[in-house]
Amino acid sequence: MGEEGTEGTVHLLCLAASSGVPLFCRSCRGGAPARQQLPFSVIGSLNGVHMFGQNLEVQLSSARTEDTTVVWKSFHDSITLIVLSSEEGTSELRLERLLQMVFGAMVLLVGLEELTNIRNVERLKKELREALSGFAEAAGTAFGSLVVSGRVVAATESWWRLGTPEAVLLPWLVGSLPPQAARDYPVYLPHGSPTVPHRLLTLTLLPGLELCLLCGPRPPLSQLDPQLLDRWWQPVLDPLRACVPLGSRALPAGFPLHTDILGLLLLHLDLKRCLFTVEPSGVQEPSPEHRRRLLRSFYTLVTATHFPPEPGSAEDKVEEVAQRTQVPRACYLVSGPEEPGMGWRLVAVQAGPRRLLLLLSAQSPTHALRGLATHTLQALSPIL
């Protein structure tokens, strides 16, 4: 797997489905925004071949060349998104989910009605440029939640019941906005309310820690005055301070983890929640960004080839019963030479609704990976 994504380029194209007019184009290389743009002729060809297939009642969803993967996806017969990736190891599943999140981000900020009834393409392009510039560059994006660095560290049950797009995108949105003491931000919910806007209220309780409220017309932001905040939050100031370091490590200080663990992703498939960190300790190598790429690629691999998609997805419902007896309980991968002291170790285990992916140091013996992962999963189960 090596350095996935360090040299590959990703192009994201958004077009009006009926006219093929580009609404916006974004490119990145190695995870950073890139100035390189595709020529208009290439954009037109990519959209044209997709529209040609639709006219013949053929759905073109993906294609591969020697070094590039292309995925097309249309939404509500109004928006067509196209992504091209030359990153090593990229799968169609990963790119399709990226397009779903991009469209969810558009609905979050603009609203479904504006996207499905495009009367003024130029005005929509302007709105999308203003609203999505920071959102796209941050690679990313209730009733009530505490957010640290774009991560939810505590939330009400109502927040956890939000649909999958908004549950992911709202924290990303908060993390991508410039720091402010308070905000009153209109948002649409791609799953719950795509045509009627809600209000996202945010209040900075401590540097790096924001209180988020998703509400209707009331209450006005002016009612959330300092006296009200002091009444409810001053008594829990010490626990609040303890939340701030959770932004990167995601685990409480002193939580016992094996020293070989360099990163982890814990999924609770029923609750649709996850715990993720690439900074469990002070180990310097590999870099957090490299660890993130390794875990992301491994997650894509095991989801596409070994474990089924999360319950509730369209592809899972069709063959859920037939595949249930064929689901593996564990798998592992060595990224690099499978020799003592060489290659990062990656292992995945599943028990009930929980699935754990670990990135381990090169010194971790392969014969002990499953036992270490199972023990770690048991230790993390009370948290998620």
Ordered by start, the domain boundaries in the chain are 9-137, 144-244, 252-313+326-380
Task: Please give the distance of CA 384 from its chain centroid, rounded to a whole number.
Answer: 18
Do the domains spanning 9-137 and 144-244 agree at the CATH topology level?
Answer: yes
* HEC-encoded secondary structure of 4-36: CCCCCEEEEEEEECCCCCEEEEEEEECCEECCC
What's the CATH number of domain 9-137, 3.40.50.2300, 3.30.1360.70, 3.40.1280.10, 3.30.450.70? 3.30.450.70
The candidate with the shortest Cα–Cα distance to 168, out of 191, 195, 196, is 191
Mean pLDDT by 10 residues, the chain (384 residues): 56 84 83 77 84 79 91 90 89 91 90 74 52 31 72 78 83 87 88 87 83 80 70 67 69 76 90 83 77 90 78 47 63 76 86 92 87 90 81
Joined together, the tokens standing for residue 48 give 């044209």
What's the CATH number of domain 252-313+326-380, 3.90.1280, 3.20.20, 2.60.40, 3.30.450? 3.30.450
Q: Quickly count: other Cβ atoms within 10 Å of residue 295's Cβ.
A: 22
H or E segment at 288?
A: helix 288-301
Q: Is 278 in contact with 293 (CB distance < 8 Å)?
A: no
Q: 376 exposed, middle or buried (CB, 10 Å; 0-12, 13-18, 19+)?
A: buried
DSSP state of 217: S
What is the number of H-type helices and E-type strands within the chain?
12, 16
The candidate with the shortest Cα–Cα distance to 251, out of 274, 291, 280, 289, is 280
Joined together, the tokens standing for residue 19 give 């006219």
Q: Is 115 in contact with 106 (CB distance < 8 Å)?
A: yes
Q: Is 34 in contact with 99 (CB distance < 8 Å)?
A: no
The answer to whether the peptide bond before residue 308 is cis (omega within 30 degrees of 0) is no
The pLDDT of residue 333 is 87
The candidate with the shortest Cα–Cα distance to 258, out of 278, 280, 277, is 280
The pLDDT of residue 254 is 65
Distance CA 35, CA 31 (A): 13
The candidate with the shortest Cα–Cα distance to 275, out of 200, 384, 131, 381, is 384
Give the list of residues 6+ apart from residue 152 with CB closer than 8 angstroms, or none.
Answer: 145, 146, 159, 171
CATH number of 144-244: 3.30.450
Joined together, the tokens standing for residue 36 give 């390189």
Overall residue count recorded for the chain in this entry: 384
Establish how many alpha carbons lie within 13 A of residue 134's alpha carbon, considering only the half-sphere containing its beta carbon. 11
The pLDDT of residue 6 is 47
Q: Reduced to 3 states, what is the DSSP secondary structure of residue 351?
A: strand
Q: 32 exposed, middle or buried (CB, 10 Å; 0-12, 13-18, 19+)?
A: exposed
Q: Whose structure tokens read 């996207």?
A: 115
CA-CA-CA-CA torsion sign (90, 304, 176, 151): negative
Cα of first residue to Cα of last residue in the chain, in angstroms, is 29
The candidate with the shortest Cα–Cα distance to 357, out of 347, 366, 365, is 347
Q: For the chain, what is the radius of gyration of the CA atoms?
A: 22
Please state the pTM of the whole predicted model: 0.65
Joined together, the tokens standing for residue 351 give 């028990």
